[in-house]
């Protein structure tokens, strides 16, 4: 009886862990090959992004902990018709990568240089901003799925373009719009950001960095 109870308990625990792992992947962005960008009609109204009120928040993690930071939106434009986004794009300033969980003089500058690839001998470890100073996103579509608005678009990093889809909230009024994503993850290796990835390199032990990066995009745009 005790053996049967132990086996049953192990099955329950395993099932719970499996469900938890599936839930952790719930916010993973769908990633596919790049698609044709959406076009706007002549009747569409243009809204220009406000860089000072727009940002991308990120979280990177490894077995020993995680780091948080931001990346700036440099510019962007959205075209709306009947209060619906028809097309749009925005430019990402990769030189603006900032670490927010470390203090200046206590590892902040070193990690920022490492992420940008500005540290000596580490140019291609992460984003290599000298060769790829800009990233971009262009909308390819908008759909409703499971009660959510899902934004589809081509994300370009390090010269690699992939189509991703993630849930967003869109607020529209006469003079401005706000596009705010839910927290979602991308697999950085899809864009050639391979440093410390155990799916790329063997024998890393526990010295690896997780492939998934959490992102949250918030963009405010005013009527042009």
Q: Beta strands 184-187 and 160-172: pairing type?
A: unpaired
CATH topology of domain 29-223: Lipocalin (2.40.128)
- pLDDT tens, 115-169? 998 877 666 779 999 999 999 999 999 999 989 999 999 999 999 999 999 999 9
Q: How far is CA 91 from the centre of its chain?
A: 14
Q: How far is CA 184 from the centre of its chain?
A: 6
- Give, as one character, the DSSP assignment of residue 52: G
Domain boundaries, the chain: 29-223
Mean pLDDT of 202-217: 94
pTM of the entire structure? 0.86
- C-alpha radius of gyration, the chain, whole number: 20
Write down the pLDDT at residue 123. Answer: 62
């Amino acid at each position: 009886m005790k053996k049967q109870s132990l086996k049953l308990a192990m099955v329950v625990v395993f099932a719970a862990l499996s469900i938890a792992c599936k839930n952790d992947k719930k916010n993973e962005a769908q990633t596919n090959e790049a698609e044709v960008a959406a076009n706007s009609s002549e009747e569409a109204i243009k809204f220009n992004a406000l860089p000072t009120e727009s940002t991308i928040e990120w979280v990177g993690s490894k077995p020993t902990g995680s780091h948080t930071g931001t990346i700036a939106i440099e510019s962007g434009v959205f075209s709306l018709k009947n209060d619906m986004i028809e097309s749009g794009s925005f430019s990402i300033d990769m030189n603006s990568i900032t670490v927010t969980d470390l203090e200046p003089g206590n590892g902040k500058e070193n990690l920022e240089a490492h992420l940008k690839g500005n540290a000596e001998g580490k140019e291609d470890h992460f984003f290599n901003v000298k060769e790829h100073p800009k990233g971009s996103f262009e909308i390819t579509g908008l759909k409703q799925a499971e009660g959510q608005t899902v934004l589809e678009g081509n994300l370009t990093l390090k010269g690699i373009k992939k189509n991703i889809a993630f849930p967003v909230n869109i607020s529209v009024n006469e003079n401005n719009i706000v596009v705010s994503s839910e927290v979602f993850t991308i697999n950085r290796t899809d864009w050639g950001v391979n440093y410390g990835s155990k799916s790329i390199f063997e024998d890393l032990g526990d010295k690896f960095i997780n492939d998934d990066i959490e992102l949250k995009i918030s963009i405010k745009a005013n009527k042009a």
